[in-house]
């Protein structure tokens, strides 16, 4: 059955209410947002520009696009901004009109919703192969006829597994030869300090069917502002996306955020210091439980399988902690979970709760 309604993990308010808890009483590990919070530079900019709310946003977002273009060393025409990465996913589906699309399973559900009218081919990833995707994707592209688009989340959500640059180049080369659009969602790529060795942005010029989607949401902790962008060297595709956009889809403060946040070197440095330390700490802590099979993380969340029958989300919620059950991801069961990497105090609280639950006390 195709997914037709949004199913995400960050809305824990309703579940908390069911257990007599308020939202403020629950520690949320389900949403993969930078725990450093909104950068001070953005708070100051918004505060100083509140009067801008009486003005319409700049319709073509030229300053925003120019800043992103400069950051990635691309041309203005290569940059298509959007109201979060999700708007761009739906936009690229409308523009390409792809009728046969390859998706990973499991992966982010919005791709399936965006390509609702298409025939979906699933690259089914398995526990036995560590949820690696590259080999399976290549096999399907070689085998399937009339494939028109391949949509890959890299790093994949929820597994955190990466398709490395060498593997992705092989995929892009095959897609180019077969006139297949390759759409890569790199929404979490910013959390990888050496991302230039993994991202396909340096290869945009080489592959005319390649589109890359990025987001400010996760890394800069601004999901409420909704800001993403798509990169492509395909002029016809870029122009079509710009033409079909609804006017003023990006609000004034999101526009400002995109212009200043890429320059906030202190925040970026602090984020890398935090993730380097806390991801390792939480991974080692989770790995210490024999009841869990924990997959090596690449970004700011950790994916694991519980090897015993237990509703872990419910048990943790009773202790004031909310984690992402992956039961509604295609190809996964109720014993798969994803947790965000948070602050040391929060991570310790999660590990302490798990020790009590898994020991049966």
Assess whether 197 and 309 both reside in one domain.
no
Residues 212 and 199: their CA atoms lie apart, in Å, by 9
In a domain, 190, yes or no: yes
pLDDT at 338 over 70: yes
Residues 171 and 139: their CA atoms lie apart, in Å, by 10
Instruction: Please give the angle made by the CA atoms of 200, 34 and 192, to the nearest 5 degrees.
Output: 30
pLDDT one-digit tens code per residue, 109-159:
999 999 999 999 999 999 999 999 999 999 999 999 999 999 999 999 999
* Contact by Cβ (8 Å): 283, 324: no
* Contact by Cβ (8 Å): 32, 300: yes
Identify the CATH number of the domain in which residue 312 sits. 3.90.1150.10
**Residue 9 confidence (pLDDT):** 52
In a domain, 196, yes or no: yes
pLDDT one-digit tens code per residue, 259-277:
999 999 999 999 999 999 9
Q: Which of 245, 207, 206, 247 is nearest to 229 (CA)?
A: 245
Average pLDDT of the segment spanning 227-245: 96
In a domain, 5, yes or no: no
How is 196-258 classified by DSSP, letter by letter? GGT-SGGGTTT-TTEEEEEESTTTTT-TTT--EEEEES-HHHHHHHHHHSPTT-S-HHHHHHH
Average pLDDT of the segment spanning 281-295: 98
Assess whether 99 and 244 both reside in one domain.
yes
Assess whether 224 and 244 both reside in one domain.
yes
Assess whether 177 and 309 both reside in one domain.
no
Q: Can you list the alpha helix ranges (DSSP code H) found in the chain?
A: 13-18, 40-48, 62-72, 84-96, 110-114, 134-143, 165-177, 235-244, 252-260, 265-287, 312-317, 344-359
**Residue 15 confidence (pLDDT):** 61
Assess whether 305 and 222 both reside in one domain.
no
Assess whether 282 and 167 both reside in one domain.
no
Return phi, psi of residue 200, to 5°. Answer: -95, 5
Average pLDDT of the segment spanning 222-234: 97
Would you say the pTM of this structure is higher than 0.85?
yes
For residue 152, the enclosing domain spans: 51-263
Average pLDDT of the segment spanning 28-49: 97
Assess whether 247 and 299 both reside in one domain.
no
In a domain, 7, yes or no: no
Output the CA torsion 201→205→206→209 (10° steps): 80
In a domain, 293, yes or no: yes
Report CA-CA distances (Å) from 295 to 69, 70, 162, 212, 301: 35, 36, 12, 25, 10
pLDDT at 292 over 60: yes
Residues 17 and 234: their CA atoms lie apart, in Å, by 48
Assess whether 29 and 96 both reside in one domain.
no
Domain closes at, from 199, 230, 263: 263
Assess whether 315 and 238 both reside in one domain.
no
Assess whether 19 and 141 both reside in one domain.
no
User: For residue 221, what are the contacts with CB-CB under 8 A and spacing of at least 6?
Assistant: 33, 34, 35, 36, 37, 38, 39
In a domain, 197, yes or no: yes
In a domain, 161, yes or no: yes
Per-residue pLDDT band for 22 (boundaries 50, 70, 90) equals: low
The backbone region for 120, taken as left when phi is positive above 0, alpha when psi lies in -120 to 50, beta otherwise, is beta
- Lowest average pLDDT, out of 23-32, 195-204, 326-335, goes to 23-32
Q: What percent of the chain clears pLDDT 70, i.e. is strictly above it?
A: 93
The SS3 of residue 25 is helix
pLDDT one-digit tens code per residue, 300-314:
999 999 999 999 999
Domain closes at, from 263, 292, 315: 263
**Residue 25 confidence (pLDDT):** 77
In a domain, 4, yes or no: no
Q: What percent of the chain clears pLDDT 90, i.e. is strictly above it?
A: 91
Tell me what percent of the chain is helix, strand and coil, each rounded to the nearest 5. 45, 15, 40
Domain closes at, from 235, 263, 291: 263
- Share the mean pLDDT of the chain: 94
**Residue 360 confidence (pLDDT):** 76
Average pLDDT of the segment spanning 64-68: 98
- Domains in the chain, number: 2
Q: At what angle do helices 62-72 and 252-260 cross, to 10 degrees?
A: 30
pLDDT at 279 over 90: yes
Identify the CATH number of the domain in which residue 239 sits. 3.40.640.10
Per-residue pLDDT band for 246 (boundaries 50, 70, 90) equals: confident
**Residue 96 confidence (pLDDT):** 97
- Give 104's strand partners: 123
pLDDT at 6 over 80: no
- Lowest average pLDDT, out of 84-88, 194-198, 213-217, 245-249, goes to 245-249
Average pLDDT of the segment spanning 181-196: 97
Assess whether 168 and 283 both reside in one domain.
no
**Residue 20 confidence (pLDDT):** 61
Assess whether 254 and 284 both reside in one domain.
no
* Contact by Cβ (8 Å): 172, 204: no
């Amino acid at each position: 059955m195709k997914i037709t309604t949004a199913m995400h993990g960050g809305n824990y308010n309703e579940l908390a209410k069911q257990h007599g808890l308020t939202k403020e009483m629950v520690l949320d590990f389900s949403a993969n947002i930078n725990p450093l919070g909104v950068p001070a530079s953005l708070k100051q900019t918004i505060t100083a520009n509140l009067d801008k709310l009486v003005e319409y946003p700049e319709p073509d977002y030229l300053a925003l696009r120019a800043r992103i273009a400069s950051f990635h060393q691309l041309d203005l025409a290569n940059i298509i901004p959007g109201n979060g990465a999700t708007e761009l996913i739906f936009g690229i589906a409308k523009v390409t009109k792809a009728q046969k699309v390859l998706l990973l399973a499991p992966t982010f559900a919005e791709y399936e919703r965006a390509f609702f009218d298409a025939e979906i081919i699933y690259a089914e990833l398995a526990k036995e192969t560590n949820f690696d995707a590259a080999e399976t994707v290549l096999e399907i592209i070689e085998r399937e006829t009339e494939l028109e688009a391949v949509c890959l989340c890299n790093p994949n959500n929820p597994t955190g597994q990466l398709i490395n640059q060498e593997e992705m180049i092989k995929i892009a080369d095959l897609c180019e030869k077969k006139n297949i659009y390759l759409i890569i969602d790199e929404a979490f790529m910013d959390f990888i300090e050496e991302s230039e060795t993994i991202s396909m942005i340096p290869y945009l010029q080489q592959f005319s069917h390649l589109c890359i989607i990025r987001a400010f949401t996760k890394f800069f902790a601004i999901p409420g502002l909704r800001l993403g962008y798509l990169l492509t060297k395909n002029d016809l595709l870029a122009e079509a996306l710009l033409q079909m956009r609804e006017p003023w889809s990006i609000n004034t403060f999101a526009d400002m955020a995109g212009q200043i946040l890429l320059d906030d070197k202190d925040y970026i440095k602090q984020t890398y210091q935090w993730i380097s330390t806390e991801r390792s700490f939480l991974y080692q802590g989770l790995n210490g439980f024999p009841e869990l099979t924990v997959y090596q993380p690449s970004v700011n969340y950790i994916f694991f399988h519980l090897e015993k029958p237990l509703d872990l989300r419910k048990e943790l919620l009773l202790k004031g902690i909310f984690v992402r059950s992956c039961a509604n991801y295609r190809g996964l069961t109720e014993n798969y979970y994803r947790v965000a990497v948070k602050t040391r105090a929060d991570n310790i609280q999660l590990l302490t709760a798990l020790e009590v639950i898994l020991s049966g006390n």
